[in-house]
């Protein structure tokens, strides 16, 4: 699993386990905290202009602190939601520190009592947005800090006790109210958010600026024949199926993906950042995880500009209806031009596909040693469609065989036509390897084009490869017997990586770009990357790092002993004629 995915899974588990209210989204938290900072600063500043009775107070000190708070507010409102979660605790603790300084500068008397009021802000923020431990920590911090400050400026014990009493009561009431509000958005059987909670999140997601949100997909899942199941086995068994689906799915989905029991036996999943193809994959995965003997149908739709939530839902419902009427137990994607195999096959025949090529360079000397062929669909209406939007569906419908044949033949022909003897990488889908004729197909293409087999590298994505199909292993062995090389693509995104490496006949490991993106140049060691490179080496495999975007990443990879690299730093995928002969990337 990639580090990014592991981190995200961990975060989602933590958020769920700590009982943080679901209303505590990053946006709401940042906005509220920022507004509290701003209003605290402005109100205190205003008070320093008017209050004549604050004699003895350090008015200049109070003004500086209030100004800092007021200035921090808008920054937190604007950018706070981009902060990693743990930093919110720091923000709230800074709030406590600011109020404590205000109390101290009040120098006792009326000013200090008045300036202790904003502690309530901190209490509200912490009690509403943090679960158990986090809340307890901030409330305790406020109580200790306020005791120290108020004692230091000589406020009477009675005042102190009264203020602390307010803090405790407010904290308990706010935490209680937040959790009651939360319950109204949850389904009692599954513990998932209900229709109301889901609709609110969808509204929230659609309210975000488009550039921040990116793609957004919606999946509706419905249990097939749920009524028969209830009638035959009883309502309790029906409930168990729903609870079991909810539990299993909730574990595999990431923190930013929302799973909801939308009503009856229907579940909805909101997938920010997912394309149609990816969402369809996720729908398939969730369907496969349903309890044994329980069939599921899924409808998938993507948000397009101007859609209201009901339009998006309408589309997903149409797709779900199609899935049911086409025989159930399947995923249907709304309005996907690749919905039927015939459409993509027709596109292959109509010459609507094209290949772009991305250089692969040798890190030792920056020489371009090969190129990877990446397919695109030049769709008459949609323009240039990226492969992730049609390959998953092509794999499902079987159109992948026609597409794979075309890609292989085109890529090999292009390699032969080029004047150099560089290698050519071609992506292969697992369904192609499952066919018994794949080795013959490759053999034929090599004979027809005259490409020598050692120039061809067939790339198979590891994430898709989590099964032990003997035919796949036979195909890989057959390919290597032809002299063709085999690479594991996106290594680290699957689940059985190490066993895989030992067991399967491969020559090259292509390290997924999430590992490269996680390189931190300030940290000397890159333990995960060095381990992958060392293991690959010890098994006699070469390594290619994917997604290299900066010279620093390239330098570190070279130092770690990675053999080759690919990424925007060295060149984006381009038509063959624009493929560079040498890399001009600025790597020291
Ligand atoms: P892949 O084989 O891992 O290809 C690398 C993908 O990463 C490409 O996306 C490429 O444009 C992108 N990429 C390369 N360098 C960078 C970088 O520095 N930063 C970032 N952010 N991205 C980078 P593309 O072309 O959209 O292809 C996506 C996937 O579609 C491929 O992933 C491959 O799994 C699949 N694919 C492409 N062509 C074919 C094909 O002919 N047959 C099959 N079965 N799958 C294909
Ligand atoms: Mg690839
Ligand atoms: Mg890859």
Give the pLDDT of residue 256. 85
Residue 489 Cβ inside 6 Å of ligand 1? The answer reads yes
Model confidence band, residue 104 (pLDDT cutoffs 50, 70, 90) = very high
CATH ID of 191-337, from 3.30.70.270, 3.30.830.10, 3.40.50.170, 3.40.50.10490: 3.30.70.270
The residues, any chain, with a CB within 8 Å of residue 411's CB and separated by 6 or more, are: 355, 373, 424, 426
Residue 459 Cβ inside 6 Å of ligand 1? The answer reads yes
The model's pLDDT over 539-556, given as tens digits with 9 standing for 90+, comes to 999 999 999 999 999 999
The model's pLDDT over 462-504, given as tens digits with 9 standing for 90+, comes to 755 555 667 888 899 999 999 999 999 988 876 555 667 777 7
Q: Whose CA is nearest to atom 12 of ligand 1?
A: 547
- Smallest-distance ligand from the CA of 358: 1
Q: Inform me whether the pLDDT recorded for 13 exceeds 50.
A: no
CB of 489 within 8 A of CB of 566?
Answer: no
Ligand 2 centroid distance, CA of 582 (Å): 21
Q: Inform me whether the pLDDT recorded for 519 exceeds 80.
A: yes
Give the pLDDT of residue 313. 86
- Smallest-distance ligand from the CA of 547: 1
Q: Inform me whether the pLDDT recorded for 16 exceeds 60.
A: no
Mean pLDDT throughout 1-16? Answer: 38
Residue 41 Cβ inside 6 Å of ligand 1? The answer reads no
Give the pLDDT of residue 453. 97
**How much of the chain, in percent, has pLDDT values that exceed 70?**
90
Rounded to a whole number of angstroms, the distance between the first and last alpha carbons of the chain is 31
Cα(123)–Cα(136) distance, integer angstroms = 10
Residue 386 Cβ inside 6 Å of ligand 1? The answer reads yes
The model's pLDDT over 303-326, given as tens digits with 9 standing for 90+, comes to 887 778 888 888 888 788 877 766
- Among 55-59, 234-238, 579-583, the least confident range: 579-583
Give the pLDDT of residue 5. 37
Specify the CATH architecture of the domain 342-578.
Alpha-Beta Barrel (3.20)
Cα(527)–Cα(509) distance, integer angstroms = 17
- Among 64-68, 218-222, 263-267, 389-393, the least confident range: 389-393
The model's pLDDT over 114-126, given as tens digits with 9 standing for 90+, comes to 899 999 999 999 9
Residue 490 Cβ inside 6 Å of ligand 1? The answer reads yes
The model's pLDDT over 156-192, given as tens digits with 9 standing for 90+, comes to 888 888 888 999 999 999 988 888 887 888 898 998 9
Cα–Cα distances in angstroms (integers) from residue 97 to residues 100, 120, 476, in the given order? 5, 13, 63
Give the pLDDT of residue 522. 83
Residue 478 Cβ inside 6 Å of ligand 1? The answer reads no
Exposure of 583 by Cβ count < 10 A (0-12 exposed, 13-18 middle, 19+ buried)?
buried
- Among 354, 400, 427, 433, say which to mutate for ligand 1: greatest number of ligand atoms within 8 Å of CB: 427
Q: Which atom of ligand 1 is nearest to the CA of 386?
A: 26
Q: Is 51 left (phi over 0), alpha (psi -120 to 50) or beta?
A: beta
Cα(155)–Cα(521) distance, integer angstroms = 51
- Among 374, 378, 547, say which to mutate for ligand 1: greatest number of ligand atoms within 8 Å of CB: 374
Ligand 1 centroid distance, CA of 53 (Å): 69
Helix (H) or strand (E) holding 377: strand 368-379
Mean pLDDT throughout 511-528? Answer: 88
Give the pLDDT of residue 71. 95
Domain ranges of the chain: 10-183, 191-337, 342-578
The model's pLDDT over 336-372, given as tens digits with 9 standing for 90+, comes to 544 445 577 788 888 999 999 999 999 999 999 999 9
Q: Identify the residue with better confidence: 12 or 251.
A: 251
* Closest-CA residue to 40 (of 134, 114, 150): 114
Q: Strand (E) positions, 431-481?
A: 456-461
Residue 547 Cβ inside 6 Å of ligand 1? The answer reads yes
Q: Whose CA is nearest to atom 30 of ligand 1?
A: 387
CB of 178 within 8 A of CB of 127?
Answer: yes
Q: Which atom of ligand 1 is nearest to the CA of 429?
A: 44
DSSP notation for 212-244 = HH--EEEEEEEETTHHHHHHHH-HHHHHHHHHH
Q: Whose CA is nearest to atom 22 of ligand 1?
A: 547
Q: Identify the residue with better confidence: 417 or 461.
A: 417
Ligand 1 centroid distance, CA of 135 (Å): 44
Give the pLDDT of residue 373. 98
Q: Which atom of ligand 1 is nearest to the CA of 400?
A: 44
Residue 399 Cβ inside 6 Å of ligand 1? The answer reads no
- Among 291-300, 503-512, 526-535, 579-588, the least confident range: 579-588
Give the pLDDT of residue 111. 86
Residue 309 Cβ inside 6 Å of ligand 1? The answer reads no
Model confidence band, residue 19 (pLDDT cutoffs 50, 70, 90) = low
Cα(229)–Cα(63) distance, integer angstroms = 69
């Amino acid at each position: 699993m990639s580090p990014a995915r592991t981190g995200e899974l961990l975060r989602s588990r933590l958020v769920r386990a700590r009982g943080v209210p679901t209303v505590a989204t990053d946006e709401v938290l940042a906005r509220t905290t920022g507004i509290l900072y701003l209003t605290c600063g402005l109100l205190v500043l205003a008070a320093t202009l008017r209050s004549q009775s604050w004699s003895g107070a350090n008015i200049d000190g109070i003004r500086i602190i209030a100004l800092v708070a007021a200035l921090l507010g808008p920054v937190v409102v604007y950018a706070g939601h981009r902060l990693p979660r743990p930093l919110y605790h720091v923000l709230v603790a800074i709030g406590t520190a600011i109020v404590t300084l205000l109390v101290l500068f009040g120098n006792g008397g009326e000013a200090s009592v008045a300036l202790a009021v904003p502690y309530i802000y901190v209490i509200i923020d912490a009690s509403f947005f943090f679960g158990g431990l986090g809340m307890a920590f901030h409330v305790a911090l406020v109580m200790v800090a306020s005791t120290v400050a108020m004692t230091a400026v000589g406020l009477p014990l009675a005042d102190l006790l009264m203020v602390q009493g307010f803090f405790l009561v407010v904290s308990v009431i706010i935490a209680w109210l937040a959790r009651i509000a939360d319950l109204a958005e949850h389904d009692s059987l599954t513990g998932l958010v209900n229709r109301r909670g889901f609709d609110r999140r969808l509204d929230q997601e659609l309210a975000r600026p488009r550039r921040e949100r990116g793609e957004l997909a919606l999946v509706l899942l419905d249990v097939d024949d749920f009524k028969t199941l209830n009638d035959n086995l009883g309502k309790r068994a029906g409930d168990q199926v729903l609870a079991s689906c909810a539990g299993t799915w909730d574990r595999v989905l990431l923190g930013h993906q929302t799973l909801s029991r939308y009503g009856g036996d229907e579940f909805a999943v909101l997938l920010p950042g997912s394309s149609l193809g990816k969402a369809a994959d996720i729908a398939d995965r969730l369907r496969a995880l349903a309890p044994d003997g329980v069939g599921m149908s899924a409808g998938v739709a993507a948000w397009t500009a101007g859609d209201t939530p009901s339009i998006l839902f309408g589309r997903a419902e149409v797709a779900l209806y199609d899935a049911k009427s086409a025989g159930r137990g399947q995923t249907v994607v709304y309005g996907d031009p690749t919905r039927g195999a015939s459409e993509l096959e027709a596109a292959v025949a109509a010459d609507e596909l094209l290949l772009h090529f991305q250089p692969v360079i040798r890190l030792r000397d920056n020489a371009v040693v090969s190129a990877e062929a990446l397919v695109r669909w030049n769709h008459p209406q949609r323009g240039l469609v990226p492969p992730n939007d049609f390959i998953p569906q092509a794999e499902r419908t079987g159109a992948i065989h026609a597409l794979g044949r075309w890609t292989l033949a085109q890529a090999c022909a292009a390699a032969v036509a080029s004047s150099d003897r560089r290698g050519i990488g071609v992506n292969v889908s697992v369904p192609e390897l499952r066919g018994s004729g794949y080795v013959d197909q490759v053999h034929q293409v090599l004979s027809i084009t005259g490409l020598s087999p050692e120039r061809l590298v067939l790339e198979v994505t590891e994430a898709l490869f989590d099964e032990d199909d003997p035919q796949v292993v036979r195909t890989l062995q057959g390919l290597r017997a032809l002299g063709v090389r085999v690479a594991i693509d996106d290594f680290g995104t699957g689940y059985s990586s190490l066993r895989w490496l030992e067991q399967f006949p491969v020559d090259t490991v292509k390290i997924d770009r999430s590992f490269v993106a996680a390189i931190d140049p300030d940290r000397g060691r890159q333990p995960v990357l060095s381990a992958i490179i060392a293991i690959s080496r010890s098994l006699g495999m070469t390594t290619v790092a994917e997604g290299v975007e900066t010279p620093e990443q390239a330098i570190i990879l070279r130092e770690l002993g990675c053999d080759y690299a690919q990424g925007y730093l060295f060149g984006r995928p381009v038509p063959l004629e624009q493929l560079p002969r040498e890399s001009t990337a600025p790597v020291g």
